[in-house]
Structure 1
Amino acid sequence: MEPFNRVERENHPPLFYIASWMQQFPGLSAGFTSRHGGVSESPFSSLNCGLHVHDSAEHVVSNRERLADAIGMPFQAFTYAEQVHGKDICVVTAAEKGMGRASREHAIQARDGFITKEKGQVLCALFADCVPLFFYDPVREAAGLAHAGWKGTVLNIASATINAMHQAFGSEPQDIRAAIGPSIGVCCYEIDNVVADQVKGVIMNNHSESDYSNKVLIAQPGNKYKLNLQELNRNFIEKAGIMSSHIEVTQLCTSCSTDDFFSHRKEGGSTGRMAAWIAMS
């Protein structure tokens, strides 16, 4: 069953919620925006949440405010970062609350993973094909969110986030729930040998099954490969100690579904960004 459920409400943008988590854990809000329900104009139409793509800053802030209103959280609680395709994690405290919500200059700098125990704090990250990774520990009441493109995946930001939750909050992997959100699928993500060689290297260092690379890298003509980023991240999450029954994986491909999502690759690099969020109240 698809873990990200599309919900439409009158006068609000359509959103993709992790419905099973929110039903099981009252006070938790987690999900992913679509490209609809905002004010941005083409090629960012219409719910672009990224300030870094040369859209009108006024439009982007209005879109972010619409997201806040839709999920019933104050805009002042939304916290954004300047993402750099790395694996560094920020422990988000009350001091960082609201950073980056209205300007890039005031965002958390050079981070791609975020964890918190703060109630009322909304962690946000931006996507347009890269893989959103959601984490929630119902025992310690801690949440995490990570941005995993191919570079962050190869750096194993998934494990870095889980380890950071353990070190900062005492979260045990067996208690943590993880979800892999809408992103470019193996159906659409073709890469060259340069990227494939780095993926092969990380698989060799982290996986004991000799044929596992064939599940992640599917050979194509002309020395190309199809890359399954969702599966590679799922495997890293499981190897970090999270039970397979606690891992949700989407079937939604951003490149296949540009009617609902922005896709950097499909749309030639000129497009908007979706926001992933997770919050505890």
Structure 2
Amino acid sequence: MLGEGGGVQGLSFLSRKCRSIFGRTAQLRCGPVRIPQSSRAQCACSCSFPRKLALRSLQVEGCPAARPGAFEDLPLDLGESHIKESIELNTVTNQELEEIQNDIKTYLRSLPGLKGELTILTSSLIPDTFIHGFTTRTGGISYLPTLSSFNLFSSTKRRDPKAVVQENLRRLAQAAGFDSEKFHRIKTDHANGVWIMGKKEPDSYDGITTNQRGATIAALGADCLPLVFADPVKKACGVAHSGWKGTLLGVAMATVNALVAEYGCRLEDILVVMGPSVGPCCFTLPRDSAKAFYNLDPQCVRLVDSPNPYVDIRKATRILLERGGILPQNIQGDSKSDQNPNLDLCTSCHPDMFFSHVRDGINFGSQIGFILIRE
């Protein structure tokens, strides 16, 4: 059992035939506990029920000493006394949970950034009315190989602890100059839905627009294309997550249309920056799916007759934006624009700078593109 300061206490309740298995034998604290990498897969912990709840909270909050995993209840013949459980003892108090969370946050803040300095890519196209940027993978504390180090998304499928991702976000907010408590991230659907901030939030969407000062909006990207929109005249902004499905469904212009309809923006005033994404050098689709891009413009597809043609979602996005009325000079982030060549880099080709689903598989990290209106 983990005890005060991360030490190990004797399991005396076992010698007493588990009569005190639900007792408070120790207070759990988040001291930095190091478990050898080779031993983690076989590591087991026997503890009381309330301590198991505390361990669960550690897993959810993401103490980096605890590898994410599953809890298994071992069947024990405890007799009839097992039925008489104390509800009070089978809970972790709010105070205990708060102490655990604070200990974790303090520890995570003390950790050095990995893989170099925190780097934020920006575009000269966006004026100082806004704060914006695109993150890379450097300068964070995520430690699993494909998530290291500045991962900004956590889920049940991606084994990066929630508290680690929150610490990465805190560091980004501090570096960029925004309030992490006013941070809103797209709930990806790989479609073309747009949430207009201030209206009811949908369950999922791939675009956000706002004219609220100080509210940071962000789009995830790890091969998918993060888009940032800004109108310095009406002082409104937006973001979009454009995967290949969302690109074909028109999520970029859906976000533009929301800016026009909700805030009176004019097409000629809207600026669009494309963040780093997978390039046509690495991204392939089955022939039937690639055909839709070919029908959009043959230049979007290479080796069209192969089973898996190469597809250029960046070129397709520019074409759709220009056809929708966005001025060519107001779009940045592809081969037509050399103001910041880093925005045009392929995420799959640059493992030192970016996360990539194509390259890294299921447990991949995420960059973001973000923007807010200065307060």
Shorter-chain TM-score: what band?
0.7 to 0.9
Q: What residue is the counterpart of 1:62 in the other structure?
A: 167
Q: Partner of 2:135 in structure 1?
A: 33
TM alignment of 1:108-123, pairs within 5 A: 109-123=203-217
User: How far apart are the structure 1 equivalents of 2:366 and 2:275?
Assistant: 14
1:82 paired with 2:187, answer yes
> How far, CA to CA, are the matches of 2:369 and 2:203 in structure 1?
18
Q: For the Cα contact (< 8 Å) 1:120–1:279, is it kept in 2?
A: yes
Q: Secondary structure of the equivalent of 1:224?
A: coil
Mapped to 2, the partners of 1:38 and 1:117 lie a distance apart of: 30
SS at match of 1:62: helix
CA distance in structure 2 between the partners assigned to 1:65 and 1:163 by the alignment:
32
CA contact (8 A) 1:81 1:108 kept: no
One of 318, 322, 326 as aligned partner of 1:242: 326
Q: CA deviation at 1:216?
A: 0.2
- Which position in structure 1 is the counterpart of 2:282? 188
Structure 1 unmatched ranges of 5 or more: 1-10, 97-106, 204-211
Q: Counterpart amino acid of 2:301?
A: L
1:251 equivalenced with 2:356 (yes/no): no
% same residue? 32
SS at match of 1:266: helix
How many residue pairs get matched? Answer: 247
Please identify runs of 4+ aligned residues in structure 1 that moved more than 4 A.
Answer: none
| Aligned residue number for residue 359 of structure 2 | 266
Aligned match of 2:118 = 13
Measure how far apart 1:274 and its partner are. Answer: 0.7
Structure 1 or 2: more strand by fraction: 1
Q: 1:77 to 1:245 in 2, by over 3 A?
A: same
Tell me the secondary structure at the aligned position of residue 70 of structure 1.
Answer: helix
1:108 shift after superposition: 6.0
CA distance in 2, matches of 1:78, 1:14: 19
Deviation at 1:48? 0.6
Q: What do you get for the CA RMSD once the two structures are aligned?
A: 1.8
Question: Are 1:12 and 1:70, in contact at CA under 8 Å, matched by a contact in 2?
Answer: no
Larger radius of gyration: 2
> How far apart in 1 are the matches of 2:220 and 2:358?
15
TM-score, normalised to structure 2, is: 0.63
Aligned 8 A contact 2:194 2:208 in 1: yes
TM-score by structure 1 length?
Answer: 0.83
Q: Which amino acid aligns with 1:145?
A: V
Question: Aligned residue for 2:149?
Answer: 46
1:190-244 Cα deviation digits (max 9, x unpaired): 221132133345x2xxxxxxxx31x101116742211000000001111111110
How far apart in 2 are the matches of 1:15 and 1:257?
Answer: 16
Give 1:12 deviation, angstroms: 6.0
